[in-house]
């Protein structure tokens, strides 16, 4: 059996988006409760019955998420332009070596807006 798992984590941070047009509200400093979905895929070993323990996903990804929590994202190395698109890639690149089954990272800036990164360019 092949399956997809999603582990959801949150962090709180401020950012501003310097590449947005002058006068755009997102150029000003503002904050969000970001919701991050770590999406893992793969075959479930029949003898075990699960792909990856949700607790293990949380434990491995927590240091990466904690690096973003209660920060100004623009000040985090590699996030000078901390859009949801760039955040999803930034998180993916740091978590993928820890969780080889990671297929995608989806970052929700709001309840209605999200970006997903699946590796590659």
Tens-place pLDDT, residues 50-65 = 999 999 999 999 999 9
Residue 47 annotated to the active site? no
Q: Which of 10, 26, 37, 85 is catalytic?
A: 26
| CATH number listed for the domain at residues 2-117 | 3.30.479.10
Q: What CA–CA distance (Å, rounded) separates 66 from 49?
A: 30
- Global confidence as pTM: 0.94
CB 119 within 8 A of CB 60: no
CB 44, CB 2: distance < 8 Å: yes
Is 108 among the catalytic positions?
no
- pLDDT tier at 120 (50, 70, 90 boundaries)? confident
> Which member of 59, 70, 75, 108 is catalytic?
70
């Amino acid at each position: 059996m092949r399956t997809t798992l999603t582990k959801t984590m949150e962090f709180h941070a401020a950012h501003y988006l310097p590449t947005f047009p002058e006068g755009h509200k997102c150029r000003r400093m503002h904050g969000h409760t970001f919701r991050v979905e770590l999406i893992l895929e793969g075959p479930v070993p029949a003898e075990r019955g699960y792909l990856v323990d949700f607790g293990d996903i949380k434990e491995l990804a927590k240091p990466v998420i904690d690096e973003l929590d209660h920060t100004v994202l623009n000040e985090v190395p590699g996030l000078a332009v901390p859009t949801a698109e760039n955040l999803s890639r930034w998180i993916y690149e740091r978590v993928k070596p820890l969780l080889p089954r990671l297929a995608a990272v989806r970052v929700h800036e709001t309840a209605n807006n999200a970006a997903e990164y699946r590796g590659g360019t």
